Amino acid sequence: MVSDNVPQDVGRAPRSQQRQTVAPPQNLESLGARVLCTIDGKEVRVPVGTTILAAARELGIRIPTLCNHDDLCVAGVCRVCVVEVEGQRTLQAACAYPVTQPTKVWTHTRKVRQARRHIIDLLLADHYGECYACSRNNNCELQSLAKEYGVDFFRFGHPEKPRYEIDRSSHSVVRDMNKCVLCRRCIRTCIDLQEVGVLEAIHRGHDTKVATFLDKPLAQVVCINCGQCINRCPTGALRANDPTDDVWAAIDDPTKHVVMQTAPSPRAAIGECFGQPAGKAFTFELNTALRHCGFDKVFDTNFTADLTIIEEGTELIIRLYKALVQKDKSVALPQFTSCSPGWVKYIEHFYPQYLPNVSSAKSPQQMFGALIKTYYAKLQGIDPKNIVSVALMPCSAKKFECNRPEMCDSGYKDVDYGLTTRELGKMISEAGIDLPAMPKSDFDDVFGTATGSGVIFGATGGVMESALRCVIELVTGKKVENFYEHAEILPVRGFEGVRYVEIPITAVGPVPDLVKHLVPDWNWLKGATLKVGVCHGTANAKKVMEDIKAGGKFSECHFIEFMACPGGCLGGGGQPIPTTPAIRAARAKAIYSEDRAYTVRKSHENPVIQHIYKEFLTDGPCGHVSHKLLHTHYTARGKYIP
């Protein structure tokens, strides 16, 4: 059941995600009042305080914007959306003008068109760079506006040389402030949407720029590498640190064996890079395209997502047994998930005292890397130094994660390169491949077998749902379908910022062989209530962590899933641009549809997982071998305790 006792404000959408309205005057008869708005002769009644931009969208009237974004709070700084409002002396910004009384608006008068053209000209006067060499060429909002408003020369000039040095210090994000148009989307994303606060506008007038604390490089501030700023930047001022040239070089090197693992979220979104609608998965077409690109093997990250569930779930059982049965007060509960490297970086910076609560299990990406250069290398008779391991991820923070110094338990760098969905889309296009036209093909063995539980990792709540499918069956000895239709644990699904769920354990079964070496029986869990939490976006993570600090409801949880990005991995900083709540919902639908198509939908039933514990990880989950390869320990600021 979903608890009604979630603390006030926890789970509420951040200010940046709420409907774009402005507070109406206090003398209104009721907050539910509606008012007539007439735009270009069309009438609509909207709630008092609704912006002109929102009203226009209800009428299907397009007003161009630049600083506005569906995920972010109102700013009204770019003025591209100016309109004429009857009774107003000057043009008004449609994104920030509240309709509080009957209002007449014109959106495309000569005065409006001329003002917009001049605004775009002024933006271009400070925008340095050649479009054809930009990462956002043909997907740049400034470029599109310039075309729309007929910009065919630089009315107010154009920079002849860059003003700022490009910041390439981060493994994840590259900042080129020469292309910045001061829309402040990145600032609002970092402060409001994620509540990290790395970026801010400094100086005034023509000298205004977006900068970090003391204008330091990104690698020297508290950036969590989530890349959400990239997804909302309208130009090429922010982009991911792209290793595709190195990947091509590895593919072209005959001495290298190049393998690719693909995560579920990119497969549900990469079609967008090829003009396909959001929500259409190209999992098996992508396999074929990758082989055409030259990758020697294509594996499924969902395999190690299943492995993560076994290792992380076993760790939770160990913690609970020590705390509840052995009365070990040193055990850190609730246990936090560790799949999201942006979340791990966040807790390292802002809540280091809670690092013992973070699961020691590596993310599926890093587990895969360790297995590729040990188990797989031995199985195939390949020297690990000649294996190049590439990961297709929805996340720019994965680039940072694979470069963490502790991620080399195989004796080599476990994952050599992390590619975003956008970067792989570019590689496929460069190879002359039309992805949607590719025939379907399966993943390669030995890591081609996965389950539906691995697939749903890509959506917020997916890790928790996968874990619960496993835990419920292992503890009760009954099929999860007996409790939840189609094994779909709906209480942990959804896009609410935070979810709290209680699951009573009314009966227990025998301890399965997989964990028999850890606990003698399940009697200590009979009659207990498993309390779990789910949150996505670090603004919501902050709410949960502050609630835990205050001894609130979430401090009573046993297990909490944290994802750094809104919507989970499907809303990651490496996904196709644009991203909106509707696009994230469509991607989630594709992920859940794939889950339903799998025959095996629970991690512990994956036959290859069972085989690998018998053949390679022989001392079982959380045993010595798995701890060496599949686990790590985080402490403040990324220091590592072996």
Proportion of the chain above pLDDT 90, given as a percent = 90
| Residue among 16, 170, 265, 359 flagged as catalytic | 359
| Residue among 84, 406, 481, 605 flagged as catalytic | 406
Contacts of residues 244-247 at CB distance under 8 Å and 24 or more positions apart, as own/partner, are: 244/419, 244/423, 244/426, 244/427, 246/417, 247/388, 247/390, 247/417, 247/419, 247/427
Rounded Cα distance, 484 and 8, in Å: 29
Q: What is the DSSP string of 20-78?
A: -B-PPPTTSS-TT-EEEEEETTEEEEEETTBBHHHHHHHHT-----SS--TTS-----S
Determine the average pLDDT of the residues in 458-465. 96
Rounded Cα distance, 463 and 470, in Å: 11
| Residue among 141, 315, 496, 594 flagged as catalytic | 315
pLDDT of the residue at 514: 86
329 catalytic? Reply is: no
pLDDT of the residue at 10: 39
Determine the average pLDDT of the residues in 347-376. 96
Q: Tell me the domain boundaries of the chain.
A: 32-118, 126-240, 304-362+450-638
359 catalytic? Reply is: yes
Rounded Cα distance, 443 and 379, in Å: 17
Q: Is the pLDDT of residue 333 over 60?
A: yes
315 catalytic? Reply is: yes
401 catalytic? Reply is: yes
Q: Is the pLDDT of residue 11 over 80?
A: no
Confidence of residue 418 (pLDDT cuts 50, 70, 90): very high
* Nearest Cα residue to 629 out of 341, 305, 299, 372: 372
Determine the average pLDDT of the residues in 629-639. 64
Determine the average pLDDT of the residues in 104-109. 98
pLDDT of the residue at 151: 93
Q: What is the DSSP string of 479-507?
A: -GGGTSGGG--GGG-SS-SEEEEEEE---
pLDDT of the residue at 22: 52
List the helix and strand counts (H, then E) for the chain. 20, 17
Determine the average pLDDT of the residues in 373-389. 97
What is 304-362+450-638's CATH number?
Answer: 3.40.950.10
| Residue among 398, 531, 542, 543 flagged as catalytic | 398
| Exposure letters 541-578 (e unless 16+ CB within 10 A, then b) | bbbbbebbeeebbbebbbbbbbbbbbbbbbbbbbbbbb
User: Which overall architecture, per CATH, does domain 126-240 show?
Assistant: 2-Layer Sandwich (3.30)
Determine the average pLDDT of the residues in 532-561. 98
Contact present, 15 and 71 (Cβ < 8 Å): no
pLDDT of the residue at 634: 52
First to last CA, the chain: 39
398 catalytic? Reply is: yes
Contact present, 370 and 409 (Cβ < 8 Å): yes
| Residue among 186, 293, 339, 470 flagged as catalytic | 339
Q: Is the pLDDT of residue 165 over 80?
A: yes
Determine the average pLDDT of the residues in 504-518. 91
What is 32-118's CATH number?
Answer: 3.10.20.740
Using the 8-state DSSP alphabet, how is residue 529 labeled?
E
